[in-house]
Amino acid sequence: MIYAIKKLLNIIGFSLIFFTLSSSLSYSDIKVIFIKNTVHVLDIYGKRYTLNKSSKIKSGDYLRTRKNPAILFLTDKTKVCLSNNSSLKIENIQLAANQYEINLSFKKGNILLSVPNNSQNKYNVIFSDYKINNFKDEIIISKQNKLEILNFNNKLKLMFKDKKNLNIPPYSYAKISKKENLLEIDNATDASQYTNKFLQGCVNKIQNLKAKKRDWDLQYGCVTQNGRLVCGNRYK
């Protein structure tokens, strides 16, 4: 009898530990510390509300702007700017070892995401069939008729669904077709084409581009173009 009771208590104890760990991993949230303009939320329980400075973003939340663009800051000073008629889903937020891992799925419109380099949190950005793991620094993603990416001061590794990686150099502008083929990558000298899509102060100016280019890592290599072998320095 005593043995049976001890066994039952052990089972209950392990169940409580498992439940606690599962809750901390699956049902974590992150606080909003600043917001301007309306961001509508639909959570996994079907509840609809708008974000405010005391709100917490949870796994499964679907964020959307309507007529006006919006800006919000999270506790680690991560900045999220959305143009009007844009949407973003928080796929999940997990907390482990005092670090949040946040999976963001960008659905439509225009988004500017700025993650401080000293942030301890890990942001994974998902859009269409592409993914950026552990994103830092700043990026603008536009999902309209085609996919456009404005990469700021970051060596960006874009992961395709077929597990092929594409390296996008700092301060570059990339266009990707619906067929998931890279159309072109150009140098980005300014971000003025996006300034009017977001609230004032969202988009930082691209300055000292030529000076920053000297810091980019180059690697000598050869590629085939129109049946000819072309060699030279290329971005890693």
182-202 pLDDT, tens digit each: 667 778 777 788 888 999 888
pTM, rounded to two decimals: 0.74
- The pLDDT of residue 72: 94
Residue 25: left if φ>0, alpha if ψ -120 to 50, beta else—which one? alpha
Give the whole-angstrom CA distance, residue 159 versus residue 157. 6
Q: For the chain, what is the mean pLDDT?
A: 78
- The pLDDT of residue 143: 85
Low-confidence ranges of the chain (pLDDT < 50): 8-9, 11-26, 208-213, 216-217
Coil, strand or helix at 67? coil
Q: For the domain bounded by 28-206, which CATH number is listed?
A: 2.60.120.1440
- The pLDDT of residue 165: 77
Please list the residues that pair with 221 across neighbouring strands: 232
Q: Give pLDDT tens digits for 162-174.
A: 667 778 888 888 8
